[in-house]
A and B are shown apart, each in its own frame.
Chain A
Amino acid sequence: MTIIFDGLAAGMLLFLISVGLSVTLGLMNFVNLAHGAFAMLGGYVCALLLARAGVPFLLAAPAGAIVAALAGVVLERTLYRRLYGASHLDQVLFSIGINFMAISAAHYFFGAQQQAIVLPDFLRGQIKLPGLDVGVYRLFLIVIGLTLALGLQWLVGSTRFGAQLRAAVDNPRAARGLGINVERIFTLTFALGSGLAGLGGALGIEMLGLDPSFPLKYIVSFLIVVAVGGSGNIKGSLIASLMLGLFDVAGKYYLPQAGAFVIYVVMVVMLIARPQGLFGRSAAK
C-alpha cells in the first residue's frame, strides 16, 4: 500500500512538471525539450529563497513558479516564437541548445552539488494508518496535483481563455480574423506551462533532488508522460503520470536491479501499441 501511495505522489509531481510540456507540444505543436530547464529554474529559486532569505516554503514554491513563468514569457517572446511552424528537428536542436546553456548556467551560479531544502514542520512526518504510513508531504503533493489538474481542465475546457486557445491552435488565421490575439494567447499558454514546471521543480526538490543535470535527467520521463497520455490531453497526462509514478516506484522496489529499464520498456511498448492514437493532434501533421 505504501508503494502505491508513494507512486501516486511521485506521479503527481511528474504530472505538475509534464503537463506544461503536454500543452506546448499538443496544443502549440512545439517540441520543447528545454521544459525541464524551467522546472530547474523554479527549483533553484525556491531553494535559494528558503536557504538564504528565509522565505517560508509555502511562499518560496509559488515564487519559483512565478519566476519560471516570467522566464517563459521572455524566452517565448524573443526566441521560441521564431520557431513555431519550424520542423520538429529544428525545435529539438534549439531546445537542446537552451538546455545545455541552462545546465551550464546552473553549474556556474550554484555549483554541481545537490540542493537540499528543509521542509516546514507541518509538512514533515507521517500519519500512521493501519497498514499504511502516509507521508504528510506526499499527501500534500497529491492534493496539490489533483487541485491543479481539475483547475487546468476547467481552464482549458470551460473558460473563454480555453476556448480562445483551442481556436488559436485549430486555425490561427481564422482565430486572428475573429479578433483573437493569437500571439498573446500563445505567450500566456507558454508562461502557464513554464510556471507549472517551475512549481513542480520547486515542490520536487524533496523527492527528485535538484542539481544542474536536472533538465536532461528527467526529460525522458516528461516525454514518456506526454507520449503515453497523448499530448495536449490533461486527463491523459494525469493518468500517464500516475501510471509512470507507480511503475517507477514499484519497479525500484521489486526489481531494483532493472532500474529505469522498466519505464523505457513501458514507453516503447506504448508507442508501438498505439503510435498514432497516443499523440492525438500532433500525429495529424
Chain B
Amino acid sequence: MSTTAPDLSPLRRAAAWKTPELIFWLLPIAAYFLFPKSLSLLSQMAITALFALSLDLILGYAGIVSLGHAAFFGLGAYAAGFLAKYGYGDPLLGLAVGALVAAIVGYITSFLVLRGSDLTRLMVTLGVAMMLYEAANKLTEFTGGVDGLQGVEMHQVIGLFGFDLYGKTAYWYSIGVLFVLFCLARRVVNSPFGLSLRGIKQNVRRMPAIGAPVNGRLTAVYTLGAAYAGIAGALLTQTTQFVSLDVLSFPRSAELMLMLVLGGSGRLYGALIGTMVFMVAHHYLSDLNPQYWQFWLGAVLVLVVLFARDGVMGLAQKMIKAGKS
C-alpha cells in the first residue's frame, strides 16, 4: 500500500502575499503624486472599490445575486450623515455606526433574501432597496429628499487630520480604510469560512451533505457584505460632506454589478480593478459625450457577458497561462 503524502505547499502558499499584490498597493501612493489635482476622483474611486468589494464578498464568493446592494451603501451614508449633522462628527465613529446600521438591516433582510431561487433574491433585494429609496425620497424633513442631506460637518480624523480643501485627508483616509478592510476581506476569503462560501457557490447541494449549515454561512456573509457597503457609504458622506438621494438608487446597484463583472468576480482584486477601469472610462467617456456614455456602458456589459465572463482578471490569467505554455 503506497501512502505517499500529498504536497501541502500549494495550499500553504495560497494565502501568502505575492509580489504583484504589493506592487498594486503602491499604486495609490503613486497616484497621489501623479494626479494631485484629481484627488477627489481618486477618493471616490477608493470608496467605490470598497463598495464593489462588499458585493464581491456576497456575489463573487457566496453567489448571492443582489440587485439592491445600494440599500446598504445608502444606509451607511445616511447614518453617517445624520450623526455628523447632529454634532457627532468623529469620522471613525461614523464608520462604525454606518457599518452597524447596515449590518443590522443586512442581518434582518438576509432571512428574506436567502429563501427561494436566484430570481426571488433579485426581486427581494431590489424591492428592499426601492423601499428605502422611496422612504428617503419622501421623508424630506429628515433626509432632504431629492435635494440631499445638507449640513454634514466632520471632525478631524483620529483628532489629528482635518478634512482640507484639496482632499488630501479625504484621500488618505479613504485609501487607508479601503486597505484595512481589504486585508480583513483577504483573511476572510482565505479562511475555512471563506472556503465554505466557495463551496456553497460551487455546489450548494453538497454542502449540507458534508455537515455545513448553508443558511447560517450565507447570513453571516450577507451581514458582513452589508457592513462593508455601509462603511463605503459612510465614507462617501464624510469625504463629500453631503448625502445625495442617489446613494440608494437602482443605477448605483446596477453599475456596481457591472464594475465587479468587468473586473472579474470572486477574486477581490477584480472588484478593485473593475472599479478603476469603470471609473476612469466613465471620467473620460462622459467628458467626451456626457449623455451617451451609458450606451457604451451597456455595450460593454453585453460584450462582457457574451465573451469575457471572468472580466479583466480572467483575461489576464488566461494570457499569463498562454504565455507560460
B306 neighbours in A (Cβ, 8 Å): 79, 82-83, 94
Q: Is the interface of A mostly helix, strand, loop or mixed?
A: helix
Residue in chain A with minimal CB distance to B293: A104
Chain A: interface residue count, which band? 35 or more
B interface secondary structure, majority:
helix
Q: How many Å from the CB of A195 to the closest CB on chain B? A: 22
Cβ of B116 and Cβ of A283 under 8 Å apart? yes
A100 engages B297 (CB within 8 Å): yes
Chain B proximity of A256: nearest CB distance (Å): 9
The smallest C-beta distance from B128 to any residue of chain A, in angstroms, reads 6
**Chain B residues with CB under 8 A of A105:** 295
Q: 8 Å CB contacts to B: which residues of A212-269?
A: 216, 220, 223-224, 227, 231, 257-261, 264-265, 267-268
B232 interface hit (Cβ, 8 Å): no
Residues of B within 8 A of A272 (CB): 112, 115, 124
Residue A178 CB within 8 A of the other chain: no
Could you mark each residue 60-74 of chain B with 1 if its beta carbon is under 8 Å from any beta carbon of chain A, else 0? 000001010000000
Please name all residues of chain A whose beta carbon is closer than 8 Å to the beta carbon of B120 when the two chains form the complex: 227, 271, 275, 278-279, 283
Which of A49-57, A84-92, A129-137, A148-156 is the contact stretch?
A84-92
Question: Nearest chain A CB to B127's CB is how many angstroms away?
Answer: 4
Asked if residues A265 and B131 are in contact (CB atoms below 8 Å), the reply is yes
Cβ 8 A contact of B122, one of A31, A94, A259, A285 = A31
Contact present for B294 and A94 (CB under 8 Å):
no
When distances are taken between beta carbons in the complex, the residues of chain B under 8 Å from A93 are 257-258, 261, 301, 304-305
Q: Which of B103-149 contact A (CB under 8 A)?
A: 112, 115-120, 122-124, 126-128, 130-131, 134-135, 137-138
How long is the Cα–Cα vector from A265 to B135 in the complex, in angstroms? 11
* CB closest residue in chain A, given B135: A261
Residues of A within 8 A of B128 (CB): 268
* Known A-B contacts A90-B309, A261-B131; A96 and B123 likewise in contact (beta carbons under 8 Å): no
Show 11 residue pairs from A and B whose CB-CB distance is below 8 angstroms, ordered by the A residue.
A93-B258, A98-B298, A100-B297, A101-B295, A108-B291, A260-B130, A264-B127, A264-B131, A267-B123, A271-B116, A271-B120
Residues of A within 8 A of B (CB): 25, 31, 79, 82-83, 86-90, 92-94, 96-105, 107-108, 216, 220, 223-224, 227, 231, 257-261, 264-265, 267-268, 271-272, 275-276, 278-279, 282-283, 285
